[in-house]
Amino acid sequence: MHGRTAMAMALLPLFLLQPKRTSAQSPRPDTIGQRWTYDGLTGPYVAEVAATGLRVPFGLAFLPDGRALLSDRPTGRLALLDLRSGRVTALEGGPAVYDSIDAGMLDVVVHPDYARNGWVFYAFAERTDSGKTTVVERAQVRGSRLVDRQRLFAAYPAVATDFHFGARLALRDGYLFIGLGERHMQDLAQELWTDHGKIVRLFDDGRVPRDNPFVGRAGARPEIWSLGHRNPHGLAFHPTTGDLWESEHGPLGGDEVNVIRRGANYGWPEVTFGREYSGGFVGDGRTEAPGMEPPIHHYASSAALSGLAFYTGAAFPAWRGNLFMGAMTPRYLARLIITPGAPPREERMLLEQRWRVRVVQQGPDGFLYLGIERTHPSLDDGMIVRLRPGP
């Protein structure tokens, strides 16, 4: 996302479900332990600062020992977060990261079998003589160092722009899915010779599965799983269906939530509900076309969706099965209530904070953790905030 201006929100056909805030605004800057209480639609909840001193916390993943891994995009670093004290310790031994505009250290995830194999996976932007691209590695965490780093993937080819690197990672059943932006070169999203604007699927050791949809097609990248994406910023498996869900940024409007199918084309830039930043149509302005998958949900005005998490915990029973995303341009946390056969309903949470929520993850305690970016040093520090049930 770049160059966007805040716009009035027009979220039809959603119902607008607006919670009301109950406690007074606290003075800035925010500090660890600072909290606000809200009357949500499903009951009271507390937003509590868990860590500060960050810039753009882009990825967040929990380790079995009560710590979390986070990425702080423009610093190019991964860090360990102690969830009890809020102490953040940068990890040494990471890769050299390119950090301009949309680049930097991107997503980080923990292998579902981490307790057995110790692998963590992370995506970052890399600069070489031929340009910049999105790279994925896996490594082990030993003390405060990354060790045994293995390079698994580099999106082909490296190009000159500093925009739309993605990236989000999701792991299940030995497969690694990577959501990649089209690098602000929109026609690449429809081209099978390049990884940009695609979701790719690898084994978790970086090998390409032979049953990927474009294996054996002349000129196609065999790692491609789906195409026609603009800039994925959320990727997660549905807790009951197992489907892979994705959120992506549109241009001016046209942010989407998609369910990702093998080999499917998600349309960008041939079909979109968004407009060019100038206000004109993208291409010939089509919003649907044969052979192109429609989003299951889209935003008519700019939402700048970031992160995607399904809630499954015990702390908020009323949220189970709901989908959470940051909406960074209007600046709220979206709770989507998805009912088959009906339009999603949305609760816009934390509107008064005007936080830019970059990432949402459910913690091992069942609380919801948000990575919030620094918008201005004297207003919002980059921080991690947890939502827990209120009194």
Nearest distance from C-beta of residue 302 to Ca ion, angstroms = 15
User: How far apart (Å, rounded) are the C-alpha atoms in residues 189 and 97?
Assistant: 24
Residue closer to Ca ion by CB (options 229, 331) is 229
Write each residue from 259 to 278 as x if it is in contact with Ca ion (CB under 5 A), else as -, in one continuous string: -------xx-----------
Binding residue count for Ca ion, defined by CB under 5 A: 2
Residue closer to Ca ion by CB (options 119, 266) is 266
**Which residues lie below 8 Å from residue 278, measured CB to CB, with a gap of 6+?**
none
DSSP-assigned states of every residue in 333-351: EEEEE--TTSPPEEEEESG
Nearest distance from C-beta of residue 254 to Ca ion, angstroms = 8
Residue number closest to Ca ion, CB atom: 267
Nearest distance from C-beta of residue 295 to Ca ion, angstroms = 5
**Strand pairing partners for 137?**
122, 151
DSSP secondary structure code for residue 273 in this structure: S
**Which residues lie below 8 Å from residue 257, measured CB to CB, with a gap of 6+?**
234, 245, 246, 247, 295, 296, 297, 298, 305, 308, 323, 325, 336
Residue closer to Ca ion by CB (options 229, 356) is 229
Would you name the residues annotated as active-site residues?
Answer: 164
Nearest distance from C-beta of residue 308 to Ca ion, angstroms = 15
User: How far apart (Å, rounded) are the C-alpha atoms in residues 179 and 225?
Assistant: 10
Radius of gyration for the alpha carbons in the chain, expressed in angstroms and rounded:
20
Residue closer to Ca ion by CB (options 226, 353) is 226
Residue closer to Ca ion by CB (options 11, 227) is 227
Q: Which of residues 211-270 bind Ca ion (CB under 5 A)?
A: 266-267
Which amino acid is present at 286? R
Nearest distance from C-beta of residue 126 to Ca ion, angstroms = 27
Residues at the site binding Ca ion, with contacts judged by CB under 5 A? 266-267
